[in-house]
Amino acid sequence: MSKDFKEKTPRDETPVTKDANIPSDDFPTAPSDTPKAKDATAPKESRKPSDEVICGYTRQQYEDAISELDEPASDEPFIGRTVTESQSTVMAIIKAVVYVAFIVSMAIMIAYFGLSCANDVFAFVKDDEVIEVTIPENATSSELSEILGDAGAIEHPWLFRLYASLKGIDTNPKYTFVAGDYTITPNMNYDEMFLAFVKTASAEVIRITIPEGYTVDEIIALFVSKGIGTKEGFVDTINNYEFEGYDFLDEIDMTNRIYRLEGYLYPDTYEFYMGKSEAYYIYKLLDRFDQIMNDELRAYAKERGVTIDEALAIASIIEKEAYFKNDYDIVSSVLWNRLESNNYPNLECDTTLLYLLTHQRGERVTDLTKEELAMDHPYNSYKYEGLPPSPICNPSFTAITCALYPETTPYYFFVSDKEMTLYYAKTLAEHNKNIEQIKKQEAE
């Protein structure tokens, strides 16, 4: 054995090489891959829990590291997380509210639409305004729906067409629509409207002539005698029904007035459908008056300084006092002379008081007693100045025009004989002389 040979020890079996560029003190010693031999005689080492190694760390080091992660980095709260959670909660609430509001709104809209459709079909709550429509020859339910929709009688023409289709209106001979002018109201349901335009007993036409100078009482009696309406129904309609589209009705003063529409039910010949409401017939008369009382007459009434109602009051007295139309303009001049005079402020016309008494008694009164002439009532033109509270009949076009375009005369009095001839006078003395002359003629 060479003298340079040394006995190898376990440490010498794994030589360590050093890098010349690294100081020997800083170069770490690599752990040996060969486990060290344990001394069998050495006492068995007891290990504490803290000496356990977890992932290269002792248990104490591992627990210290975990506790540092659990603790906040500072004493201030973690605001970012709190704000984010609050925003999420608010957004969730807003979305829920919007969703609920949308559902409720949709439910309301659907309910309203459903009620609107049901009301249109069955007319639960609709206006009773009278509407006139014209139905052409061979009209179909589709054409009828457009006509009624344009007139405002129905709200949903499409629903009317659908209803007609489901009922087979166009294929049912029962529903053959008859061309012509009809009067209906929106408070009629769909079935009633279909029947209104077919030839039935209810579509019977009657022709009625209302004489010039008829009073409201006489017109009502005429209608009832023809099997149209009732007296009570006409009285209520004339005094209380809300007729639309007539501005002249707004001027009417009901103070001491018997009938609101006295003077406005124009006398003429009319054709009416039977079986209608009282309002239907009165509408016809008012429509005709509205045509007669044209813009020219209204403008002249305004120029004369009177309302339409006052002009009609003058015309109605002319109608009742003068028996022949060639006297209308002269009688008008007498009335105007008195209305504009300080010497004769009272009209002193029998006809105003006769109108009142006839209405009160329900029968025609033609003569006045001294007691009646002394009655204290606004319709007594011997006691009250100016015009009576209303017209005393429904005057003709001639009487209306003469009331607004009177003859220019100096007369303040007139009197008639049995032949209905009028005698005019400028003074009371002349008037009394005319009366005496008439008495002598009648005595002969």
* Inside any domain, residue 34: no
Residue 7 pLDDT greater than 60, yes or no: no
Q: What percent of the chain has pLDDT over 90?
A: 52
Last residue of a domain, one of 259, 292, 325: 292
Say if CB 419 and CB 429 are below 8 A apart. Answer: no
pLDDT at 174: 66
Mean pLDDT score, 243-247: 90
Domain count, the chain: 3
Q: Which region among 31-40, 204-213, 362-371 has the lowest average model confidence (pLDDT)?
A: 31-40
With 0.85 as the threshold, say if the pTM is over it. Answer: no
Residue 249 lies in a domain: yes
Residue 11 has pLDDT above 50, yes or no: no
User: Is residue 383 predicted with pLDDT exceeding 70?
Assistant: yes
Does residue 205 carry a pLDDT above 60?
A: yes
Let me know if residue 54 belongs to a domain.
Answer: no
169 versus 213: the higher-pLDDT residue is 213
- Given a cut of 80, whether residue 384 has pLDDT beyond it is yes
The answer to the question of residue 14 being in a domain is no
Residue 407 and residue 331 share a domain: yes
Q: Check whether residue 366 and residue 403 sit in a common domain.
A: yes
12 within domain boundaries: no
| 439, 413: one domain | yes
Show the domain range for 285: 203-292
Say if residue 417 is in the same domain as residue 333.
yes
